Amino acid sequence: MSGFSSKRRILLTASAAVALSPFLAGCNKKELAFQGSDISGTQLGRDLDMQDGDGKPRKLADYKGKVAVVFFGYTQCPDVCPTAMAELSQTMELLGADAAKVQVIMISVDPARDTPEILSAYVKAFNPAFVGLTGTPEQLSKTAKSFKAYYAKSSGGTADQYGMDHASSFYILDQEGEARVLVSGNATAQDIAADIKQLL
């Protein structure tokens, strides 16, 4: 009886070790503690389909190999967008040499007014390496849905003069193009840089 119990204990111990091995292996990996919200596994942004400043079609795969920071906004935004872009510009300064491994992307929620040329000039005024993506209303709808990003024309205004309501968060995607962090639009450059560094 005692021999049976010993064998049973050995089998149970071996089974437990096998079952736990994936978790134990995970313990050896670097633990990531983001300042923003961890959105790993959500696959947000997979259907990005827009045009860059040269009118060239762009997909998420085009930025593989770099950590991508995506922001939805528009060039005629009076306050939120320029503040966010300035914060991202400061983030790149804080990253130093690592900034070369990061791609900041602003996606326009106002394609009617934000032509590729206008948007490109706008983002590059904050940092020459920044990329602006615009496109047709259909492309924007598909891309925004992929990120679950809200945008809508504000009430009031005229056909040419109007505002856009939009989400102001930053989406950070790792070098494989996987969505990893959702950072508040109120986050500091230091916090954004800290989350980016963990993915480099």
Q: State whether 85 and 161 are in the same domain.
A: yes
Q: State whether 81 and 16 are in the same domain.
A: no
Q: State whether 76 and 120 are in the same domain.
A: yes
Q: What is the pLDDT of residue 158?
A: 84
Q: State whether 18 and 42 are in the same domain.
A: no
Q: State whether 133 and 193 are in the same domain.
A: yes
Per the annotation, where are the binding residues?
77, 81, 166
Q: State whether 18 and 44 are in the same domain.
A: no
Of 1-5, 28-32, 98-102, 142-146, which gets the smallest average pLDDT? 1-5
Q: State whether 17 and 69 are in the same domain.
A: no
* Sheet with 67-73, edge to edge strand ranges: 37-38, 179-183, 170-173, 67-73, 102-108, 131-133
Q: State whether 96 and 15 are in the same domain.
A: no
**CATH, residue 162:** 3.40.30.10
Q: What is the pLDDT of residue 4?
A: 44
Range of the domain at 150: 37-199
**Domains contained in the chain, number:** 2
Q: State whether 64 and 137 are in the same domain.
A: yes
Q: State whether 23 and 102 are in the same domain.
A: no
**Position 156 confidence tier, pLDDT thresholds 50, 70, 90:** confident
Whether this prediction's pTM lies above 0.75 is answered by yes
Q: State whether 57 and 13 are in the same domain.
A: no
Contact 34, 181 (CB under 8 A): yes
Per the annotation, where are the binding residues for Cu cation?
77, 81, 166
pLDDT digits (tens, 9 = 90+) for 52-74: 999 999 999 999 999 999 999 99
pLDDT digits (tens, 9 = 90+) for 3-57: 444 444 444 444 444 444 444 444 444 578 899 999 999 999 999 999 999 999 9
Give the residue from 197, 196, 191 showing the smallest Cα distance to 87: 191
| Cα–Cα–Cα angle for 94, 95, 97, rounded to 5 degrees | 125
